[in-house]
Structure 1
Amino acid sequence: MLNIALFGPPGAGKGTQSKMLIEKYNLAYISTGDILRGEIAEGTELGLQAKDIIKRGGLVPDEIIVQIMEERIQTDTEVNGFLFDGFPRTTVQAYILEGLLLKMNTKLDCMLSLEVPTDQLRNRLLDRAKKENRSDDTEEVISVRLKEYDTKTAPVANFYKEKEIYHGIDGLGGIDQIFERLTSVVDQTLQKSWINLVLLGPPGSGKGTQGRKLAEQFNLEYISTGHLMRQEIKKDTEMGQSAKTYMEKGDIVPDEIAIRLIERQIRKHPDANGFIFKGFPRTIVQAYILDGLLRKLGSVVTSSINLDVSTLESIKRLTYRGKTEGKRLYDDTDIIIHRLEQFEKRSIKVSNYYSKQDKFEIVNGLGSEEDVFKRLTDVVNKSFKKIR
């Protein structure tokens, strides 16, 4: 998901550039002014409250703004993200936007500010006033509006500068020139965004085989908590000794161990394009943990894919593996059944968690390795297009 805040003083050409950006990146346009006017025109409860406040000469409070924005954001589900025009205007609203987007398991990717010299803005606005016969747009009024913009937006600009997502854009030149500058920054931002895939599916569904192939195909780092734990067991580390007692019984290893291993693995790859997580999360708690781990690094889960195979197929595959050199601690028949029961019991909550965020896909795990991989790459490519 791509979320942009577009700023610019009156006369900077924000409206023109907004239209071009939302078309190029398939974004929903969010303007608090437009939304408020729409609510008032429709006579909604929030619109009537806002109308009454405006009539009395007051400013619509953030409490109403946030409700209106949340409703609008939740209705736009067929877009790749949002373009916020003129919002947030205060640091309080900046925090509100953070919370709204966090609730959707996403974030603001960049704040673009069109920068035009004051004398140029003044000339543009005076010229527009003449053309549109706006007699109240005198030079004095325009100067006050421009000064007010600078005063109000400076703290917000600093807020995003501290987060290192603020980008000042030269607003002089032709429409296409300015648009090229804007898209250059947006495209660079997208390239910096991690692609994080969660590979779900029952034991024996082929997650390991396909996860490694996907990592190679899309230049991502493959993180298998099971593999990391087996390495710790082999080295006879403290974590390995602790994990072994659980893995031998087919039980889920304590979250504290998984967290330490995942964080360590992520730190090893600071220049990664993203990660494929196999074997984690297995529970709803672990899904929240992974969100927290990625949020800490300024990222989110891009998509989750469930490799769908029947219980009988899983048992066949794992029983066969148990007779090969690749046999694992937990490839005993009783433990296989126990692991599958655990999966059935816990997986539905994880699937629902990602499904509610529109980040859940099911892929048929039957067929040749190549056929399954082809299905997976089609789904992953579709996920990539949503954010790039």
Structure 2
Amino acid sequence: MRLLIMGAPGAGKGTQATALAARYGVPAISTGDIFRHNIRNATPLGIKVKELIDAGEYVPDDVTEEIVAARLAEPDCAQGFLLDGFPRTMHQVHFLDRHLTEHGQALDAVVSLMVQPEALVQRLLQRAELEGRADDNEDTIRRRMEVYAGQTAPLLFHYESKGLLVEVDGTGSVEEVRQRMFGLVDAHTAR
């Protein structure tokens, strides 16, 4: 099973990605986790990524694509994967399409968690308070929403045109969203 999970910041991608990957027995690959690991360890990549994230910007395509390609080449991805946080731009979509085609693979579904923007801002402000995330102040959160809308949302149209998009209402409890998502993905991949 080869899946993507998408949604605006705060939509619950990380929480739901873990459950979805476990359901299908594939690794959950979060570019955010990879970046945070590098930031924590103050690697050259981590220092550069921290500056961009602190400004509410995304990491450049070529850097992200190189990291993802290396991760997809690892043995645990041979039978599938779930990508969380990638692709975020059409450049990354085309890169992923080429990469999968070159390896005789294709996506099975693209899960999109849909949540109203104001609800997302409130979720992220609460998370910032609970987790002490310095990168989550209201101005930065709103900037991330703008960047998401401008760069990432158009990807949904691409995947919809390929018949891969599975839209999931991301409101409600974690368990409610999870059960809704499982049902929709199961139905989509059974076709």
**TM-score normalised by the shorter chain: which range applies?**
0.7 to 0.9
Structure 1 equivalent of residue 9 of structure 2: 10
**Structure 1 residues 171 and 65: alpha-carbon distance in aligned structure 2, compared to 1, 3 A threshold:** same
* Matched AA of 1:29: A
Structure 1: 5+ residue stretches without partners = 193-388
State how 1:1-388 maps to structure 2 within 5 Å: 2-38=1-37, 48=44, 50-51=45-46, 53-54=48-49, 60-77=59-76, 80-134=79-133, 137-192=136-191
**Structure 1 residues 34 and 167: alpha-carbon distance in aligned structure 2, compared to 1, 3 A threshold:** same
Worse-matched range after superposition: 97-106 or 75-84 = 75-84
Q: Larger Rg: 1 or 2?
A: 1
Whether the 8 Å contact between 2:38 and 2:46 is mirrored in structure 1 is no
Give per-residue Cα distances to partners, 1:179-199, cap 9 Å, x unaligned: 11211222123212xxxxxxx
**Distance in structure 1 (CA, Å) of the matches to 2:188 and 2:77:** 22
SS at match of 1:5: strand
Identify which of structures 1 and 2 has the higher relative contact order when contacts are C-alpha pairs closer than 8 Å and 6+ apart. 2
Displacement of 1:169 in angstroms is 0.9
**Structure 1 residues 134 and 28: alpha-carbon distance in aligned structure 2, compared to 1, 3 A threshold:** closer
**Structure 1 residues 189 and 68: alpha-carbon distance in aligned structure 2, compared to 1, 3 A threshold:** same
Displacement of 1:100 in angstroms is 1.4
Q: How many residues align?
A: 187
Displacement of 1:67 in angstroms is 2.9
SS at match of 1:167: strand
SS at match of 2:76: coil
**Distance in structure 2 (CA, Å) of the matches to 1:123 and 1:56:** 24
**Distance in structure 1 (CA, Å) of the matches to 2:50 and 2:134:** 23
**Structure 1 residues 36 and 126: alpha-carbon distance in aligned structure 2, compared to 1, 3 A threshold:** closer
SS at match of 2:29: strand
**Structure 1 residues 70 and 150: alpha-carbon distance in aligned structure 2, compared to 1, 3 A threshold:** same
Cα RMSD after superposing both structures:
2.8
Normalising by structure 2, report the TM-score. Answer: 0.82
Displacement of 1:23 in angstroms is 1.1
Displacement of 1:38 in angstroms is 4.5
SS at match of 1:111: strand
**Distance in structure 2 (CA, Å) of the matches to 1:136 and 1:181:** 30
SS at match of 1:12: coil
Displacement of 1:21 in angstroms is 0.9
Worse-matched range after superposition: 92-101 or 77-86 = 77-86
SS at match of 2:101: helix
**Distance in structure 2 (CA, Å) of the matches to 1:98 and 1:29:** 19
* Matched AA of 1:95: H
**Distance in structure 1 (CA, Å) of the matches to 2:73 and 2:135:** 38
**Distance in structure 2 (CA, Å) of the matches to 1:127 and 1:77:** 34
* Matched AA of 1:97: L
